[in-house]
Chains A and B, each alone.
Chain A
Amino acid sequence: MSEFLMLSLVPLLVAGLCSLSCALLGNFLVLRRQALIGDAISHVALPGIVASFLLTGTLAAPAMLVGAGAAALITLALIELIRRLGRVESNAAMGVAFTTLFALGVLMLEWSGASGVHLDVEHALYGNLESLVWFEGTRPAALWDPQALAGLPPQLTRVAWVALLVGLFMMLAWRPLVLGSFDAAFAASQGARPGPTQLLLVVMVAVAAIAAFEAVGSILVIAMFICPPAAARLMTDRLSHQLAWSQAFALASAVLGVVLAGHGPGWLGIDAGLSAAGMISVVAGLILLLACRFGPRRHRAAPPPG
């Protein structure tokens, strides 16, 4: 029991909260066909983190978060600029922007020798759920002990706050979000302001992604944004049901992923651990696969274009 509390509880909670908040936002990204904005934001976390490390000399979480946030904002601005001036489709503009910034991040990383320090490419990409150990979690009573609770890894509190923020955002911006996802012109005519809502949605996506980086790394956050909502989309036609399904799938992916990564090799007799973040995205992918094959609402209403 104490081993569970010390080693597994916090990763489970962090992974769970991350995937719940990402999946919630991801519903609207999938509906608006903007899933790849998560791709872009995830990739530019690396240069943001490297830049903040080079500027502040510290790997403390606030500095990293600010760095990643600034990188996300710069990327969004760059994408808009390239789209307007180059007159190319938004996907191509996204591709130019985030790959360049990522390359810049890699260059800064290698050239400054920062790769020798704790900040290496792998961790920023793959995350580090396994390292979230709660040293004070030695017995069940620790769950009520304020002193023991104070020793919880700070990632947990951060992720919890972000989950709260996302939930609040959804409640407050529900109507503009829904209207804007289905009919932007109608939304505008109803005063639901699709433009600012879109911007706010992207900002929330960036916030949730940045909070999740520490847990699952930047590339795998994309799985959390897309796979559970996509699977949910194939299960139902009703938006409220879709949100519920996405939360269920997200929680399942997180829990199964962490458990399989930590204990799966043990069940096979191998004494090692697998990447929890990777496992989470694999489970999410499997759920999506099952939904693609058996989901009740998986078929298109109209014939596919082109």
Chain B
Amino acid sequence: MDAWLAALTLSAGYNTRLVTLGALLLGAAAGMVGSHVLLRQRALISDAVSHATLPGLAAAFILIALVQGDGRWLPGLLLGAAASAALGLAAVQAMSRHTRLGEDSAIGAVLSVFFGLGVVLLTVIQAMPVAGQAGLSGYLVGATAGMLASEAYLLGAMALGLLVALVILRRPLLLLCFDPEHAWTQGVDLRRTDTWLLGLLLAVTVVGLRVTGLILIVALTIIPPVTARFWTDRPHTLVIIAAGAGALAGYLGVTLSSVHPRLPSGALVVLAAFTLFLVSLLIAPRRGLLAHLIDRYRFVRRVHCRQGLLALARNEAIFDPTTLRILRRLGHIRRDGLATAQGRAAARDAHHEERLWMHYRHAYPEEAAQLGARRLEPISRLLPPDLIDELERRLPLESGEK
């Protein structure tokens, strides 16, 4: 626990500090890129991209090992990974655009076939008398433990570059997701922006290979945006919150994994991201589960109250115990069930409102249907005054108005 606190406050050693900062930047970049991909409804394309890095990684390892005997040279490996991932991405695009297969089949096919090729190359490596083979498995599930300072610098710089690119490209990217026509009139080239987006996704994946491993980098591009979705409906805010969630997940995960060498960093980052997701699912203000339950409870109470008051207005007996309890608590009826003066006034208002609503529903059925549960709120809050005047004029004069 103390070790974790030390890591959290960036005082657990130079390397840990570097890696933590790198993971933070990576998480932010992944969250931002992932938000755009999510908004484009192509969330799982990151799975294809990440799995397609394996053959390039293995091939680069073989080449580097042939040159210098030990295949571990991060820049070369990342370059190889990027190249094969780009090929995979192109294959997915080509398959979904030019054949009648859906994008899901394209993603699945590229994912598995490229990974299979990578596995074949891994067995080739196993047969080669070179060093550094064991380090390759770190690219599957992440291994920040043995990272060199130079590697951490490289990753951090790349992540920072990604963030800058994302900030620069944020307007075209958002337009791409929501309003392609408007974007076109503004002179934004959509195909090029789409390519940029996928390129950024590729870059995030490649940078994340070392930190979270290729199988888990997908999580960092999907979970933070989904988490952010609970907090906002606005795309711009979504991207920012996703970046924050991703950064927080990277920070928590990597610091926790630095406590013990057997704790895998990638897995902990993902689990941290999921915890944030779970917390958001529960407590987010309007879209969270708790908020839903509270809203529902309030709605049920309002229905009971309204029905009870209407019954009072019509001089009907009320039998439902929950309705009686609610009316009693609001002070509209006495213990014995008789209406109080306050209750009679409220009943008159309720009756009046119901009649206004009836006329509104008659005159504007679609708008009334759209209001849904808000129908129980005071009418003066929902409709403009002139409309209410018009509805009032339509109320037929009844004899013996209660």
Interface, chain A (partner B; CB < 8 A): 30, 33-36, 38-39, 43, 82, 85-89, 91-96, 99-100, 102-104, 106-107, 110-111, 113, 121-122, 125-126, 219-223, 225-227, 230, 233-234, 261, 265, 270, 272-275, 277-282, 284-285, 288, 292, 295, 297-301, 304, 306
Q: How far is the CA of A274 from the CA of B256 in the complex (A)?
A: 38
- The 0/1 profile, CB within 8 Å of A marked 1, for residues 229-261 of chain B is 110000000000000000000000000000000
Q: Which residues of A contact B109 (CB under 8 A)?
A: 35, 223, 226-227, 230, 285, 288
Q: Which residue of B lies closest to A46 (CB)?
A: B215
B102 at the interface (CB under 8 A from A): yes
Q: Which residue of B lies closest to A285 (CB)?
A: B113
Q: Which residue of B lies closest to A94 (CB)?
A: B44
Question: Do A110 and B216 touch (CB < 8 A)?
Answer: no
Q: Which residues of A contact B43 (CB under 8 A)?
A: 89, 91-92, 95
Q: Which residue of B lies closest to A89 (CB)?
A: B41
* CB within 8 Å for A226 and B263 given contacts A89-B41, A91-B44, A272-B127: no
- The 0/1 profile, CB within 8 Å of A marked 1, for residues 194-236 of chain B is 0000000000000000000001101100110110011000000
Q: Which residues of A contact B266 (CB under 8 A)?
A: 103, 106
Q: How far is the CA of A122 from the CA of B139 in the complex (A)?
A: 12
Show 7 A/B contacts (Cβ-Cβ < 8 Å), sorted by A.
A92-B43, A107-B263, A111-B263, A223-B109, A227-B109, A275-B119, A292-B99
Question: Do A234 and B116 touch (CB < 8 A)?
Answer: no
* CB within 8 Å for A226 and B112 given contacts A95-B43, A103-B216, A275-B120: yes
Q: Which residue of A lies closest to B102 (CB)?
A: A33
Q: Which residues of B contact A95 (CB under 8 A)?
A: 43-44, 46-47, 218-219, 222-223, 226
Q: Which residues of B contact A222 (CB under 8 A)?
A: 108, 111-112
* CB within 8 Å for A277 and B100 given contacts A103-B270, A111-B262, A219-B51: no
* CB within 8 Å for A301 and B100 given contacts A121-B140, A219-B51: yes
Q: Which residues of B contact A297 (CB under 8 A)?
A: 100
* CB within 8 Å for A88 and B229 given contacts A96-B274, A223-B109: yes
Question: Do B219 and A99 touch (CB < 8 A)?
Answer: yes
Q: Which residues of B contact A280 (CB under 8 A)?
A: 116
Q: Which residues of B contact A275 (CB under 8 A)?
A: 116, 119-120, 122-123
Question: Do B137 and A279 touch (CB < 8 A)?
Answer: no
Question: Do A86 and B229 touch (CB < 8 A)?
Answer: yes
Q: How far is the CA of A113 from the CA of B264 in the complex (A)?
A: 12
The 4 closest A-B pairs by CB, nearest first: A281-B116, A285-B113, A278-B119, A99-B219
- Looking at B43, B101, B107, which has the most chain A CB atoms within 10 Å of its CB? B101
Q: Which residue of B lies closest to A30 (CB)?
A: B105
Q: Which residues of B contact A89 (CB under 8 A)?
A: 41, 43
Main secondary structure on chain B at its contact with chain A? Answer: helix
Q: Which one of B47, B102, B123 contacts A278 once the chains associate, using CB atoms below 8 Å?
A: B123
Q: Which residues of A contact B123 (CB under 8 A)?
A: 272-275, 278
Q: Which one of A96, A288, A298, A306 contacts B100 once the chains associate, using CB atoms below 8 Å?
A: A298
Nearest chain A CB to B168 CB, angstrom units: 24
Q: How far is the CA of A182 from the CA of B129 in the complex (A)?
A: 54
Question: Do A230 and B105 touch (CB < 8 A)?
Answer: yes
Nearest chain A CB to B72 CB, angstrom units: 18
A95-B226, A103-B270, A222-B108 given; name 18 further pairs at CB < 8 Å.
A36-B107, A87-B287, A89-B41, A91-B42, A99-B223, A100-B270, A103-B268, A226-B108, A227-B113, A230-B101, A234-B101, A274-B120, A275-B120, A281-B115, A282-B117, A288-B109, A301-B100, A304-B98
Question: Do A234 and B120 touch (CB < 8 A)?
Answer: no
Q: Which residues of A contact B102 (CB under 8 A)?
A: 30, 33, 35
Q: How far is the CA of A202 from the CA of B355 in the complex (A)?
A: 52
B189 at the interface (CB under 8 A from A): no
B97 at the interface (CB under 8 A from A): yes
Q: Which residues of A contact B28 (CB under 8 A)?
A: none
Q: Which residues of B contact A82 (CB under 8 A)?
A: 226
Question: Do B108 and A278 touch (CB < 8 A)?
Answer: no
Question: Do B289 and A85 touch (CB < 8 A)?
Answer: yes
Question: Do A110 and B267 touch (CB < 8 A)?
Answer: yes
Question: Do B267 and A274 touch (CB < 8 A)?
Answer: no
Question: Do A281 and B113 touch (CB < 8 A)?
Answer: yes
Question: Do B116 and A285 touch (CB < 8 A)?
Answer: yes
Nearest chain B CB to A98 CB, angstrom units: 9
Question: Do B113 and A106 touch (CB < 8 A)?
Answer: no
Nearest chain A CB to B228 CB, angstrom units: 11
- The 0/1 profile, CB within 8 Å of A marked 1, for residues 4-46 of chain B is 0000000000000000000000000000000000100111101
Nearest chain B CB to A130 CB, angstrom units: 10
Nearest chain B CB to A102 CB, angstrom units: 6
Question: Do B226 and A107 touch (CB < 8 A)?
Answer: no
Chain B contacts with A in 121-147, Cβ cutoff 8 A: 122-124, 127, 137, 140-141
Question: Do B105 and A261 touch (CB < 8 A)?
Answer: no
Question: Do B112 and A103 touch (CB < 8 A)?
Answer: no
Q: Which residues of A contact B94 (CB under 8 A)?
A: 292
Q: Which residue of B lies closest to A217 (CB)?
A: B119
Question: Do A103 and B219 touch (CB < 8 A)?
Answer: yes
